[in-house]
Amino acid sequence: MSSASPSPTSPSSKSSSSSPAPAVSRAVKILAVLADAHGVEMSLADLARAVGAPKSSAFNVCLVLEEAQLISRREFGYTLGRRTVELGGAYLSGFDQVREFYRVCSSSPVLATELVQLSVLDGTDVVYLARHEGSTPLRLSAGVGDRFPASVTAVGNALLMALSPDDVAARYASLDALPVRTSRSTRTVAELQDKLAAARTRGYALDRSEVFPNVIGIAMPVPARNPGENALAIGVSVIGPREGFDVPPEQLTAIVDALREAVRQLSNPMSRDALQESRA
């Protein structure tokens, strides 16, 4: 899961000393810190310390954010407010593929029963945009809005495999080490490049218990429909009885075929199935 501390690339890790609007920068930092807290209440003192501001300044910013319902004051501190959910929903509504993702999953005999997720690449992380629960929900897996390292997730690898090796190297050039989640996590950029090369040959990416010991991820990239749009990745998470288990060949083949068909529909809005659904 995401750490409660700000990531190196998050807005809360950047200094606001040179910002043309320091109050706005502090507001962005406070929102980012509360997002990383995942619902855990944070006191005013904790927020002030996290954003590097005096308590009086942090209080003034929190007051405005609370009035806007972007944050909520509880018994032991602050959490994100309901307005952030509305804004997130408005953002996601701009992704036609997110809406179509749920249709595709529900209409697929295979994906309908699986845990399926849709994600986008952000630096060296993936952010999850949508989640279809299937018949066996996996509570440990990422939820909508969660951020995970791309190097160890199947959807992250699916997005990275669509890049050239040079682009991947440049993306990871500033990192001293890759995030490690389990004993099976990819630890070096060289290992990551080898894994991506194998994924390109196979046509899909695999997370072999790199995030959770008893979970295997299978994912494919979804090409952007238009120039300037973000490419997405769609993946299935399969839970097993133990670390290092293998997905049965028949199940793996069925999932790969279903994902390939989902990619076709999501990347081509004029596909026959998508048109039939829109006319229904």
Share of the chain above pLDDT 90, in %: 47
Cβ(137)–Cβ(117) below 8 Å:
no
For the chain, which residues make up each domain, given as ranges? Answer: 11-87, 94-279
- The SS3 call for residue 187 is coil
pLDDT in the model for residue 274: 42
CATH homologous superfamily of 94-279 equals: GAF domain (3.30.450.40)
Question: Is the confidence at residue 8, as pLDDT, over 80?
Answer: no
Asked whether 50 and 12 are in contact (CB, 8 A), the reply is yes
With contact defined as beta carbons under 8 Å apart, do 226 and 101 qualify?
A: no
Query: Confidence class of residue 224 from pLDDT cuts 50, 70 and 90?
Result: confident
User: In 128-160, which positions are buried (b, 16+ CB within 10 angstroms) versus exposed (e)?
Assistant: bbbbbebeeebeebbeebbbbbbbbbbbbbbbb
pLDDT of residue 267: 84
Confidence (pTM): 0.65
Instruction: Look at 87 and 255; give whichever has higher pLDDT.
Output: 255
3-class DSSP assignment, residue 234: strand
HSE of 8, CA atoms in CB hemisphere, 13 A: 10
Cα 135 to Cα 126: distance, rounded to the nearest angstrom: 24
Task: Say how far apart CA 185 and CA 178 lie, in whole Å.
Answer: 9
Q: Is the pLDDT higher at 11 or at 133?
A: 133
Q: What is the pLDDT of residue 141?
A: 65
pLDDT (0 to 100) of residue 157: 97
Choose the weakest-confidence range: 4-8, 34-38, 120-124, 134-138. 4-8
Statement: residue 32 has pLDDT above 60:
yes
The answer on pLDDT for 48 being more than 60 is: yes
Q: Which of 129-133, 175-179, 203-207 has the largest mean confidence?
A: 203-207
Look at the block and give the residue holding tokens 């839970």.
239
Instruction: Check whether 47 has a pLDDT greater than 70.
Output: yes
Task: Give the pLDDT score at 137.
Answer: 58
For 260-277, what is the mean pLDDT? 68
List, for residues 76-85, the tens digit of each pLDDT value: 899 988 888 7
Residue 139: per-residue pLDDT: 61
Sorting pLDDT into bands at 50, 70 and 90, what band is 280?
Answer: very low
For range 139-149, the mean pLDDT? 78
Q: Is a pLDDT exceeding 80 seen at residue 135?
A: no
Residues above pLDDT 70, as percent of the chain = 83
d(CA 278, CA 225): 18
CATH architecture group of domain 11-87: Orthogonal Bundle (1.10)
Supply the mean pLDDT for the chain.
83
